[in-house]
Chains A and B, each alone.
Chain A
Amino acid sequence: MSAQSTILFALLVPLVGAAGIAVAGRVSANLRETVTLLTAGGLAVTVWSLLPAVMAGERPGVTVTELLPGVELAFRVEPLGMLFAALASGLWIVNSLYSIGYMRGNNEKHQTRFYVMFAVSLAATMGVAFAGNLITLFLFYEMLTLSTYPLVSHKGDANTVRSARVYLGILLTTSIGLLLPAIIWTYTVAGGGDFVPGGILAGHVEGPAIGLLLGLFVFGVGKAAVMPVHRWLPAAMVAPTPVSALLHAVAVVKAGVFTITKVIVYIFGVDFLFAAPSSGWLLYAAAFTIIAASVVALRQQNLKRLLAYSTIAQLSYVVMAAAILKPLAEIGAAIHMVAHAFGKITLFFAAGAIYVAAKKTEIGQLKGIGRRMPITMTAFTIGALSMIGVPPTGGFVSKWYILAGAFQDDNYVALATIILSTVLNAAYFLPIIYMAWFMREEEAPARPHGEAPWPAVLALAITALLTIAFFFFHGATLELERQVVENLS
């Protein structure tokens, strides 16, 4: 199969899978979940089959149709998108496994709708990852927002509907109100919106307009959750945990930071932005978000909300790394997308497993839970260590590169932010770990419980192992991302 058709295949597999899941859901739950796993597997095989060619330096692309004169629906696989797609499609398999355990363990309603919309969200994610220009990216970005709405509002009670309204409201408002004008502005001045190494805006905008356009992009991409457009992420925690795990720790939020990184690297161009003083604010905005979100996380009592604020901080790591505008930092940004994904999905899996097994959602309830759920809490510990950046976990690798990039530019703001946030990360994760392992249960639970259903435990064990493995084997990722920056200074 040619690379062109593989790209289109990657979009079609989850969509066809969604239809298959819908049909299978009428037959039996087992068949439905088999179809889900097959679709996830099929998507991963499709996406990963593109990897060798991209590693070898090819950039396969395909133009589907011309939407308007000069505005095309086109896809092009470049290293950043390859990495994002490979990550999301790979983790979807694990997440589907986990979903089966979680959704059955919780006796959730409307499970068919859940799996269908999940598959559609993954199709949208692939579209974002492989988009060859801004308009294609925008199309799939909105599709991702809309297709995740039914997942966030899954429960359907008044509280959930209110939170889902915040979710949708912020994401649509920012994308239509800010991102769309930024995109049209880009098309108007640069005559196109293709992602080109080195950027396309150099010579077309100048002065304060650069900072303004960058601002429209950064805050328009609400999915990156740079403050003050972060409120949707804690709101999205009303979703079932598999949604929080894959979508609001990996696919949706990474689509946000991925878009910002891509815009910086392929639309503005790193060198062009570096030379523009009006773009300097982005670093401070990201640094502020990191610190502020970490401080808010300190005060959270609900485990999932804590993880949400931790995610907000970690996303801004990627944005800040990209905003350092140095090659090593751009690599760090890409690697952090992967490292954080493994760690945070593990943490969410663990939080969900605790909810399924023990029906506990608050941090104060976790005393002594390590003895009842040792595998889950081991995985949680590994994930938390990765968030802090302790070796041997993936989080260390990415922090290393971001720090190295900051040193390249003697960027003390970034350095100080990273150090301070590491301390804060430790301050909110270590007490949980301490409570879980070293404190005694205050009273025995009414219904003694062990681990969550086995598919969920298997899934979180896999991602925990991936978190550690990424520390040792990140050579391929590094090589891939080196290609993004090799023609930078």
Chain B
Amino acid sequence: MNGLAQHLPALQVVVPMLVAPLVILLRPRGLAWAACTAASVLAFAIAIQLMLSVQNGGPVTYLMGSWPAPYGIELRVDSLSVLLLLVVTGASVTALVGGRDSLDTQIETDRQPYFYAAWLLALAGLSGIVITADAFNIFVFMEISSLASYVLIAGGPDRRALPSVFKYLIMGTIGATFYLIGVGLIYMMTGTLNLADMEFRIHEVADQRPILAAAGFITVGLALKAAIFPLHVWLPNAYTYAPHVVTAFLAACSTKVSLYVLLRFDFFVFQGNLAGHAFQFAVYLMPLAILGILVGSAVAMFEQNIKRLLAFSSVAQIGYMMLGASLVTVAGLSAGIMHIFNHALAKGALFLAVASFATVAAGLRLDDLKGIARRMPWTFGAFVIAGLSLIGIPGTAGFVSKWYLISAAMEFGAAGLPLVAVILVSSLMAVVYVWRILEAAWFGEEAGEPGAPVTVSPVLVAVTWVVAIANLYFGLVPELPVSLSTAAATELLDHLP
């Protein structure tokens, strides 16, 4: 067992990646789903095991093929990557387990094996990004996950997904190319692709123009992939027209993984070495974060389609994460990283509930959802809890990250007050957009005959509730995300001079 345990970092990626081609061969109905789910559960278990080892013994490193770094590829799992791994694999498991019926209705049976193979490749790519310590490897995994996500998003019955996925593809490719150009420039100047090694070597050439250009390319490219305002335009449509369960999976984790790379690159490689980079990081990203928060929330307040509404809310929430990071303090970074986890819980539950609604309602505009609460009281209950978490009501996970974020802003004294105001105003905007949905669902009169209460898929309702209860649990006992994100923030800041 010990022998296998030391290979866990590699298995995290290898398991879904190896199962993916096998899934294509599983033609009988349901088998592909079962294999995909089993692989996801295994990946989730590996992530939990890795989390335990990181918590007990610090970062885990793994040398692919035993080639020593920086010559071989190194995998490195620390608190930050473990947090992301939990989010990615957890989102995959909940979406697959809960979403089986929804996927069955949305994906044609004979295309299901391909769909689930793409799902596993996305899972492998996203997990790969967060465990590898190699800049080029990150690019490879990024491409794997992106290409697979395009397939997933376009895989549903809604033809409007095609133009949105095309937009996503163009933007995503530009982002990835920018990243690759940046990495190429750095490789040209330093001769290394290993992040730790790069941090060490870039110091000598830090004032050279190619390095500065590389920093620009990498930051912009990753910001595009992470949908940081104003580079978010691909996101709302992609989320809206994707199959519902795919939205639940990707909304919980895909942009956050890019954000992770952005943080990792910035703090590991650039912050300590490039003169004035910390200042630039804060000064350029903070206004974007604030604008993202305010504009995203404002658009969500007036949006009619519930999935687009939640997608714009995601743009705002990514702003929170960036805002925390742009403070460049332990408290701020912890808040931002913690929000990755907490937001995934809230949005995951919300999109799962939306998947339930979609099986009954005629459409997903607010008018179509009128009175749905009376027909699906249980799903609605979970939606309420997750909505409260999104607002940041105490007792929910969303409150914990908001508390940290406000405390972090207050550390700056009077200078932090405008930030506090932004956070509070956007929380109130969240009240408005969440309440628009709740009011329509609760009080709205259904057009035509009022339908009887229906239970679509008990498993989906149960899984939605599990995630909703996780929102409450991590609101009252937030030790796990707090300790992981604080450790991650400290590790990141250790790389500053």
CB distance from A127 to the nearest CB of B (A): 10
B194 contacts partner chain A, Cβ-Cβ < 8 Å: no
| CB neighbors of A among B245-262 (8 A) | none
The answer to whether A185 touches B400, judged by C-beta atoms less than 8 angstroms apart, is no
The answer to whether A73 touches B403, judged by C-beta atoms less than 8 angstroms apart, is no
The answer to whether A168 touches B435, judged by C-beta atoms less than 8 angstroms apart, is yes
CB distance from B329 to the nearest CB of A (A): 13
When each residue 57-81 of chain A gets 1 if its CB lies under 8 Å from chain B and 0 otherwise, what string results? 0000000011111010100000000
CB distance from A220 to the nearest CB of B (A): 11
What is the CA–CA distance of A156 and B407 in the complex, to the nearest angstrom?
39
What is the CA–CA distance of A363 and B420 in the complex, to the nearest angstrom?
47
What is the CA–CA distance of A73 and B443 in the complex, to the nearest angstrom?
34
CB distance from A477 to the nearest CB of B (A): 31
Which residue from B420, B435, B476 sits with its C-beta under 8 Å from A73? B476
Which of A136-144, A221-229, A292-300, A371-379 contacts its partner? Answer: A136-144
Contact status of A187 and B428, CB under 8 A, knowing A142-B394, A165-B439: no
Which of A89-97, A169-177, A478-486 contacts its partner? Answer: A169-177
Which residues does chain A contribute within 8 Å of B479, judged by CB atoms? 66
A3 contacts partner chain B, Cβ-Cβ < 8 Å: no
What is the CA–CA distance of A159 and B482 in the complex, to the nearest angstrom?
44
Contact status of A156 and B443, CB under 8 A, knowing A181-B406, A187-B407: yes
B393 contacts partner chain A, Cβ-Cβ < 8 Å: yes
CB distance from B145 to the nearest CB of A (A): 33
The answer to whether A181 touches B411, judged by C-beta atoms less than 8 angstroms apart, is no
The answer to whether A184 touches B406, judged by C-beta atoms less than 8 angstroms apart, is yes
Which residue from A65, A68, A156 sits with its C-beta under 8 Å from B403? A68
The answer to whether A138 touches B394, judged by C-beta atoms less than 8 angstroms apart, is yes
Q: Of residues B391, B393, B425, B427, which shows the largest number of chain A Cβ atoms within 10 Å of its Cβ?
A: B393
B392 contacts partner chain A, Cβ-Cβ < 8 Å: yes
| CB neighbors of B among A20-77 (8 A) | 65-69, 71, 73
Which residues does chain B contribute within 8 Å of A180, judged by CB atoms? 406, 424
Q: Could you list 23 examples of A-B contacts with CB < 8 Å? A: A68-B400, A68-B404, A68-B482, A71-B403, A135-B394, A139-B394, A139-B395, A142-B394, A142-B395, A143-B395, A153-B443, A161-B443, A165-B435, A165-B439, A173-B428, A176-B391, A176-B424, A181-B406, A184-B406, A184-B407, A184-B410, A185-B410, A188-B410
B210 contacts partner chain A, Cβ-Cβ < 8 Å: no
B478 contacts partner chain A, Cβ-Cβ < 8 Å: yes
The answer to whether A172 touches B395, judged by C-beta atoms less than 8 angstroms apart, is no
Which residues does chain B contribute within 8 Å of A169, judged by CB atoms? 431
A146 contacts partner chain B, Cβ-Cβ < 8 Å: yes
Which residues does chain A contribute within 8 Å of B395, judged by CB atoms? 139, 142-143
The answer to whether A146 touches B477, judged by C-beta atoms less than 8 angstroms apart, is no
Q: What 6 A-B pairs have minimum CB-CB distances, sorted nearest first?
A: A139-B394, A188-B410, A161-B443, A184-B406, A177-B424, A139-B395
What is the CA–CA distance of A138 and B403 in the complex, to the nearest angstrom?
12
Which residues does chain B contribute within 8 Å of A65, judged by CB atoms? 476-477
B386 contacts partner chain A, Cβ-Cβ < 8 Å: no
A71 and chain B: residue at smallest CB distance: B403
| Given contact pairs A142-B394, A165-B439, A181-B406, a sample of 18 additional A-B residue pairs in the complex whose CB atoms are under 8 Å apart | A68-B482, A69-B482, A73-B476, A142-B393, A142-B395, A161-B439, A161-B443, A169-B431, A173-B431, A176-B392, A176-B427, A176-B428, A177-B424, A177-B425, A180-B406, A184-B403, A184-B410, A185-B410
CB distance from A123 to the nearest CB of B (A): 12
A157 and chain B: residue at smallest CB distance: B443
CB distance from B437 to the nearest CB of A (A): 14
| B interface majority secondary structure | helix
What is the CA–CA distance of A139 and B393 in the complex, to the nearest angstrom?
8
What is the CA–CA distance of A295 and B476 in the complex, to the nearest angstrom?
45
CB distance from A67 to the nearest CB of B (A): 7
| CB neighbors of A among B1-41 (8 A) | none
Q: Of residues A65, A68, A143, A169, which shows the largest number of chain B Cβ atoms within 10 Å of its Cβ?
A: A68
A150 and chain B: residue at smallest CB distance: B442
What is the CA–CA distance of A229 and B427 in the complex, to the nearest angstrom?
19
The answer to whether A188 touches B411, judged by C-beta atoms less than 8 angstroms apart, is yes
Which residues does chain B contribute within 8 Å of A66, judged by CB atoms? 479
Which residues does chain B contribute within 8 Å of A165, judged by CB atoms? 435, 439
What is the CA–CA distance of A177 and B439 in the complex, to the nearest angstrom?
22
B121 contacts partner chain A, Cβ-Cβ < 8 Å: no
The answer to whether B403 touches A172, judged by C-beta atoms less than 8 angstroms apart, is no
What is the CA–CA distance of A142 and B420 in the complex, to the nearest angstrom?
20
Which residue from B393, B406, B428, B478 sits with its C-beta under 8 Å from A68? B478
The answer to whether A177 touches B428, judged by C-beta atoms less than 8 angstroms apart, is yes
What is the CA–CA distance of A110 and B356 in the complex, to the nearest angstrom?
25
A155 and chain B: residue at smallest CB distance: B443
